[in-house]
Structure 1
Amino acid sequence: MSTVLFTWGAALLGIIALCMFGRLVAGPTIPDRIVALDAMNTLAIAIMIVLSVVYDSVVMVDVAIVYAALSFVSTLFLARYIEGGQ
């Protein structure tokens, strides 16, 4: 029963990520698009963690941690690029 609930939760997170993609495309400014991209990355990490519980896979947690670190660094890089820093 819990596997079904976790799977539905992952599907719901995926639908929310698709809605966030609409904000990524239609964002009025570049910072809005970066925030939408960061939110999509966070949702992708959450999906990985939920699916790691469903499939009982520790490797997916490791991949999610690495993806979170890369997402954080890329968000910092994009913010610095927009700010005009070198």
Structure 2
Amino acid sequence: MIETACMIAIVAISAAALLNLYRLAAGPDVLDRVLALDTLVINAIALVVVAGIWFASPVYFEAGLLFAMVGFLSTVAFCKYLLRGNVIE
């Protein structure tokens, strides 16, 4: 039963990631592309967590936490670069 639920979740998250890739490529504005990239990172975290549930391994959850930290820092740095022109002051 859990395998079926994980497979459905992987298909749904992959469809969401494909839609995010479309928004990333065809975004009308740079801010739309930043939001699409941030949402794509969230989808990647979800895929890693679902894989951790499917394989019953806690290592995947730690990898998901690392992706979350790196994704947050990259989004903040990119937004700061777009607003001010530099990242480090």
Normalising by the smaller structure, the TM-score range is over 0.9
Distance 1:2 1:57 in 2: 14
Q: Please report how far the alpha carbon of residue 73 of structure 1 lies from its aligned counterpart in structure 2 after TM superposition.
A: 0.1
Higher RCO (CA < 8 A, seq sep 6+): 1
List alignment gaps of at least 5 residues for structure 1: none
Over the residues paired in the alignment, what is the CA RMSD in angstroms? 1.0
Matched residues, number: 86
Distance 2:73 2:16 in 1: 23
Distance 2:30 2:85 in 1: 16
**In structure 1, what is the equivalent of residue 9 of structure 2?**
9
Q: Please report how far the alpha carbon of residue 20 of structure 1 lies from its aligned counterpart in structure 2 after TM superposition.
A: 0.8
Give the alignment of 1:1-86 within 5 angstroms.
1-86=1-86
Q: Which runs of 4+ in 1 moved over 4 A?
A: none
Distance 2:73 2:2 in 1: 34
- Does the Cα contact within 8 Å between 1:7 and 1:51 map onto a contact in 2? no
Distance 2:61 2:2 in 1: 19
Q: Please report how far the alpha carbon of residue 34 of structure 1 lies from its aligned counterpart in structure 2 after TM superposition.
A: 0.3
- Letter of the structure 2 residue corresponding to residue 72 of structure 1: F
Distance 1:58 1:15 in 2: 25
Determine what percentage of the aligned residue pairs are the same residue. 29
TM-score (norm 1): 0.94
TM-score (norm 2): 0.91
| CA deviations over 1:26-82 (Å, ceiling 9, x no partner) | 001111000000001001101111110000011111111001100000000000000
Q: Please report how far the alpha carbon of residue 8 of structure 1 lies from its aligned counterpart in structure 2 after TM superposition.
A: 1.5
